[in-house]
Chains A and B, each alone.
Chain A
């Protein structure tokens, strides 16, 4: 305020000033716009009402809950519950349908595909890749080569019980380490590798004598991979005549496989995922292009 505490009136506008003077510049003490002031009061009032009805003040252990008992957490839980309920019918239909029916029913297929896609990204993509393209040791689920069968039922079984997992009904297969365990010599393994390369069409059959290799194969490999090397899905033994090699198809990779052995592992999802999700995952993988 000015020295004598009297309000200073600005001569031009007739408005009281704040009494402050900065090098001759004074500030008018205009009142706040009425609409603004009233909005401000209404906001204060609103805040008080809000404290009473809504959760607002933090306490040491708890917080004031408000008379309406509102909670965002409860709202989300409620919404999730109603979502599950809304999907329950489709889920039941999915579980009750024959595999062929699911693929033919556009609506059911769409539901299963969408649900499966999400579940895949959450649970499977870590190993199999977000596009299910796989990697060395992790099968590509888009192709038509299946260790344990590519029908909807077979895929579902693999997901439920896993491979080499802790579940009682899990698939189990193991490629012995022929070199490490000294069942075959390095030369014998090399002979076998060349034979496999010829079998899978990677190398032309020259003038080599394949008889020793054939004998070696019949003695050591045929019991799992079959006499014709076409694999055995009962045992999860891969087809060795095709173009797909889970652990690599060049000579070095195949040598390593025979020498040190291989053992695939996939967790069992039965009990970890609900049956509808597992069925949806099976459908999703089946429709990735390789389903049988």
Chain B
């Protein structure tokens, strides 16, 4: 579809989406009223800047049903974020919304070369997490044979992959890498499996990691993007060009804004990605701030698709880290330290070793905590690591260090060092 035609379609859909939200979501209506914007002021995409933004805080505040735009009885499904940062965000779907989402995932599978001849092994988690259900539904829409594996149990993953001749693998990039290593350890060569492509997302990964996975599994590895708030995975996906992710912009309108001022930025400039759903029923979100820092491009893609492309997220506009697919905030680690009787003097170091994220936490010991045996200090480190694991869901390596040994700049300590090179 030519770009102008897409814009006309988006304008048409946006006007009715805004009307739908204004009429059915009192929370957003009051945001619009405060800004003095009426639904009739939005006559097309050119007017989108008049609409107020939504943030994760808004979704938390309206938990669980404050953003619902249809009668609950019209909904057929919910999905949820992991809730590690506090209250979970719940997304609700009508059958139309589920179909729309699965359609987006189906496009991602087709872009990766999938068809009804393929066997799609889905080892994203199934359940509240959107990864499993999204790709599962997308695979059904394509008509591929779907293996609903969910995550974990790598031996079984490998057995089914080989026995059932899976051709497309869907999981997090770190799990793909792990499966690849496990295959190698079991004596399989990359050409022994039947895979041709992988669709990997839900966590940041580098080009280097892509090359490693491609080599390990003998496949082409495709990136996929999405967030629970917008539906789930499939909002954007890579094509054979592997050069940016095409946004399904007939369903989601993307903007890039300056995270500090909220001002829209032109294509090619780096800023915070903002999504507006165009035809969702149950959980339509207007100008939702993703906090992901990206660049958009409308340059012609060699695959022929005209949909705008987004870069891999280059960072977060807040301090959230995504480690092994889990959202981590420094404040969560700080809370554990205080609870365990440590001073909040710490340094978080995130790195990637052998394609797996590492999390090291350096914590200053208090004089009264010091003990004269290595065993005693090791036991304290282990206990603290356990408490952090309980909070985050992922385990760190804790290093207890001497007081005042963590560098402070202008009196305030640097809390996070992220050594992962995500944009090479």
- Chain A bound to chain B: no
Q: Hey, which bits of chain A sit against chain B, CB under 8 A?
A: none
Q: Hey, which bits of chain B sit against chain A, CB under 8 A?
A: none
